[in-house]
Amino acid sequence: MNAQIAAILTLDGIASGAIYVLIAIGFVLIFAVTRIIFVPFGDITAFTALTLASLENKHLPGTVGMVAVLAAMATLMEIFSLWRKGTLGRVPRALLFYLILPLIPAGVVWLTAGTLLPTALRILLTVAVILPIPPLLNRIVYQPIADATVLLLLIVSVALHFAMSGLGLLFFGPEGVRTQGFVDYTAIIAGTPVSGQAILILGSAIFFSFLLYLFFSFTLTGKALHATALNRTGARLMGIRPQQACTIAFLLGALLAAISGILIAPVNTIFYDSGFLIGLKSFVGAIIGGMVSFPVTAIGSMLVGILESFAAFLSSPFKDVIVFSILIPVLLWRSYTLVHAEDEDEE
């Protein structure tokens, strides 16, 4: 290995690491607020890429049907629970949030299917179609068991992942897709070619991480979310509604998943089941951050990306083994250095 190979490997690692950063931050965000390890996160990323590719090929993406079904289910559940509580007066509001809002982007996609829209509009529509999926899943799957243990929530998440990847096969078919690149530009930095796409990925990761930082530090909603993450009961006493906080966390997570999906679509062929491995590697990054710290998560995810790249060069058949085995020293280190978060579990 010479310096140039090392440079190319590092760049490649940083590009995939940046994708992991976005997803890992989403993991930590959702976990902190809701105590849910949202395993299907990677699937959402893959669905975004597949949706974008369907739009590019002028097909109707399967996500439209998925959103419609989920929205209908969530609305029925919401109305049923309102009826049980005897607060039917809030039905119009439920209809607006669970049925009409999610269906607007899906409806637009459905109406414009078959025409090739400009790239920017395509990306915007894709994000808009994907955004409602995690909050709707939250309403259907997690809200009825919101007070369950972390372990139960995790098991439900795993089950949900299998359901999602099955639906992915149903809606998108077994073939992989790859969209056209957004930028066709290659910079030469110190004799090493750097693709414009890699720069775009890295830039987006930094930009959106910064945006999240601003959101948490300077907006009331962000502070409310932060409070819920620190202490659910305390936040509730202060008048923060945990259900709303959950929905916002899922919405933010969905945005991160959608952005990473859009960024990864032109770099690699994405299949209906590609998301799981991407999600799993991001999860390693989130573990390095202890599922609490955003900056450590970002650094950890970057490390995972770079390690993966070098591992693939040194011994490609064992690449994933090497990446996942860093979990062992990380977990040892964390359990020795950190105070156990047991008081959180006791709630």
Partner 1 sequence: MRKLVFGASALAGLLLAGTAVQAQEITVGFVTSLSGPASSIGINYEKGMNAAYAYKADVGGVKIKLIKLDDGSDPSQATKNARKLVEQDKVDVMIGTSSAPGTNAMLTVANELKVPFIAVSPVSVPLPKEGHPWGISMVQTPPLMVKVIADRMKREGIKSVGYIGFSDSWGDLVYNGAKAAEQNGGPAVLTNERYARTDTSVTAQALKVVAAKPEGFLDGGSATQAALPLLELRKLGFKGPFFGTPSLLNRDFVRIGGKAAEGTQVSAGPVVVTSQLPNDHFSKKIGTAFHETFQKVNGGEADDGFSGYAFDGWVVFLEAAKTAMTKAKPGTPDFREALMEAIYSSKDVAGVHAVYNFTPKSYYGVDERSLVVVKLVDGKWVYQP
Least separation in angstroms between CB 197 and partner 1: 11
Least separation in angstroms between CB 133 and partner 1: 21
Pairwise CA distance, residues 206 & 12, whole Å? 16
The b/e string for 249-282 (b: 16+ C-beta within 10 A; e otherwise) is bbebbbbbbbbbbbbbbbbeebbbbbbbebbbbb
Of the candidate residues 43, 302, 310, 323, the single one contacting partner 1 (CB under 8 A): 310
190 binds partner 1 (CB under 8 A): no
Task: Tell me 177's DSSP state.
Answer: B
Of the candidate residues 85, 86, 316, 339, the single one contacting partner 1 (CB under 8 A): 316
* Residue range at the interface with partner 1 (CB under 8 A); choices 2-10, 58-66, 109-117, 235-243: 2-10
* CA quadruple 234, 236, 239, 241: dihedral sign: positive
Of the candidate residues 104, 159, 169, 206, the single one contacting partner 1 (CB under 8 A): 169
Least separation in angstroms between CB 139 and partner 1: 29
176 binds partner 1 (CB under 8 A): yes
Least separation in angstroms between CB 9 and partner 1: 6
Question: Contacts with partner 1 in 211-270 (CB under 8 A)?
Answer: 264, 267-269
Least separation in angstroms between CB 29 and partner 1: 22
Specify the residue, 6 or 327, whose C-beta has the smaller distance to partner 1: 6
121 binds partner 1 (CB under 8 A): no
Contacts of 101 (CB under 8 A, 6+ apart): 132
Specify the residue, 137 or 278, whose C-beta has the smaller distance to partner 1: 278
Pairwise CA distance, residues 123 & 48, whole Å? 9
Is the CB of residue 61 less than 8 Å from the CB of residue 127? no
Pairwise CA distance, residues 217 & 272, whole Å? 36
Pairwise CA distance, residues 90 & 144, whole Å? 19
8 binds partner 1 (CB under 8 A): yes
Is the CB of residue 339 less than 8 Å from the CB of residue 291? no
Longest Cα–Cα distance in the chain? 71
Pairwise CA distance, residues 289 & 279, whole Å? 15
Of the candidate residues 107, 178, 236, 293, the single one contacting partner 1 (CB under 8 A): 178
Question: Contacts with partner 1 in 139-168 (CB under 8 A)?
Answer: none
Residues forming the site for partner 1 (CB under 8 A): 5, 8-9, 12, 15-16, 19, 169, 173-178, 195, 264, 267-269, 271, 273-274, 276-278, 309-313, 316-317, 320
